[in-house]
Structure 1
Amino acid sequence: MSTVQSVERSLSILEILSKYPEGIRLTELSSQLGLAKSTTHRLLLTLMHRNFVKQDERSELYSLGMQVVTLASSVLNNIDIRGVAHASIVELAQKTNEVVHLCIKDDDEVIYIDKVDSDRTIRMFSQVGRRVNMHCTGVGKVMLANLPIKEVKEIISKKGLPQFTPSTITDETALFEHLEIVKEQGYAIDEMEHEELIAAVAAPIYDYNNKVIAAISIAGPNQRITKERIKAELIDLILETSHNISQKMGYLGKTN
């Protein structure tokens, strides 16, 4: 096994483990890797020695170790937008008593770089560091709406338009029509398109070049994030917050 091959396989292990926060068995992991269990186990032992992977003694499930958190925190702490936006999204979460996310586009996906929980417990897919497709979330759609059409087509070609719920937009023409509306109104609504029973409203964040560099969202159960509440309260709040953050990033444009 060459050094490069070992690194490639080790990175693949970390990528797979990131999708299983509660852990995965050796058999399933080796199957996804397309490697023998003995080979996978050897790689895991090395990663465990460096604290990139841990194994639960009782369940024998493998999951990401604290060294990954350390490295991720180092990267996140050096992302200016996160530090600039944090106080604003905390305030927004307090005003709405709902979960607020801060996301950026990375490798043609949405990645959550900050999250402020509400006082009301809710089980959601989102967590800092998690990646999702762009077409099925409010934050992803506001970022797509501000990209050149050619780039959006390239993302669709690369990532596809997979369906996550009955509400997911899976038709390219329908998506482009939807993105036109999003761009015109300056915000996007996620109507349970990625997670069933979870709705959200999202708005873009601009930098000094008038370029969309991130997005924020207010998310929660569809019983609370209703169309009526979005229209009456949440749109104004999220646009105000996104504009304030944009101004701190040097944006000189007007509010929506």
Structure 2
Amino acid sequence: MPKSKSNLIQSVDRALRILECFSRKESELGVTEIANRLDLHKSTTFGILNTLENRGYLCQNPENGKYKLGLKLFELGKLVEYGMDLRTSSLPYLKKLVDKYGETAHLAMRDGDQVIYIDKVEGEKAIKMSSQVGKRAYIYCTGVGKAVLAFMPEDNIKDIVKNIKFHKFTLNTITDLNELKLELEKIRKKRYCIDNEEIEVGLKCVAAPIMNYKNVSVGSISISGPTSRMNDERVDLISKDIKYVAVKISETLGYKMHCNN
């Protein structure tokens, strides 16, 4: 449902409208052209253009002073494209896992210090859960989150964990930094992780990382089900399958598994 216009932030709305002025036919526009088109004061337009240029969303042609779209937009566009490619290549594998176990499969993608669910496939036995496509997941107490965090570059991990504000959702939620670090070490050794009722009572999840060609996690996949069905024997079977599937998806991103992995 569309948001009320009363909730819009005017400066952000104007900046986005400026970006939307550009097209293939009009790849370069001047300050006056943009101001007239959007019925804005020239000084206001120039201020927004200067901000967008400073952030890399626009760049200025030194010969004519006109602006054109910057590389930052290209970078963000590639992320969207990448996310869609990852979803397309992962879907057949997710469906096979769901067909085999009858539980819910998730695909998540890293976005800074969080992960976002970009796909979800439910099986015949699936129980209702709060996850949904487009929703962000906690990185320290969900299977998809921990699987991603464990295989990020060390500097990134340090930056993220020092800013985590731990919340205790269940009795099993990790709320201690040292405990989290130990958990990440275990995950790196096993190459999969378990969310044992850490975010939701009665729900257990097995997850594995999706790696890129740099051997860095970019996402994760998981199988989630009720603890009544996710006993140790079943978790062991799922963990083997989900690691295999995660590697196959990772290979589509250029990842090459080494013998010590």
Normalising TM by the smaller chain, what interval?
Answer: 0.5 to 0.7
Pairwise CA RMSD: 2.4
Matching residue's letter, 2:215: N
- 2:257 alignment counterpart: 253
Percent identical across equivalent pairs? 38
Local SS of the residue matching 1:200: strand
Runs of at least 4 residues off by over 4 Å: 75-78
Indicate the residue corresponding to 1:242 in structure 2. 246
Q: In 2, are the aligned partners of 1:133 and 1:159 still within 8 Å (CA)?
A: no
Q: 1:101 to 1:78 in 2, by over 3 A?
A: closer
Structure 1 residues 8 and 124, CA gap change in structure 2 (3 angstroms): farther
Partner of 1:220: 225
For the structure 1 residues 229 and 121, does the alpha-carbon distance in structure 2 shift closer, same or farther, using more than 3 Å as the test? closer
User: 1:1-256 maps to which residues of 2 (within 5 A)?
Assistant: 5-6=9-10, 75=80, 79-231=84-236, 233-254=237-258
Q: How many residues align?
A: 189
TM-score (norm 1): 0.68
Query: In structure 2, how many angstroms separate the alpha carbons of the residues matched to 1:147 and 1:162?
Result: 22
Q: Secondary structure at the match of 2:163?
A: helix
Give SS of 1:159's match: coil
Pick which of 75-84 and 143-152 moved more: 75-84
CA pair 248-78 structure 1, distance change in 2 beyond 3 A: closer
* 1:220 Cα deviation from its structure 2 partner: 0.7
Decide which structure has the larger Cα Rg and report it: 2
Q: Deviations over 1:45-68 (max 9, x none)?
A: xxxxxxxxxxxxxxxxxxxxxxxx
Q: Which amino acid in the other structure matches residue 149 of structure 2?
A: L
TM-score by length of 2: 0.67
* Comparing 102-111 and 175-184, the one that deviates more: 102-111
Contact 1:101 1:216 in 2 (8 A): yes
Deviation at 1:153, TM superposition (A): 3.1
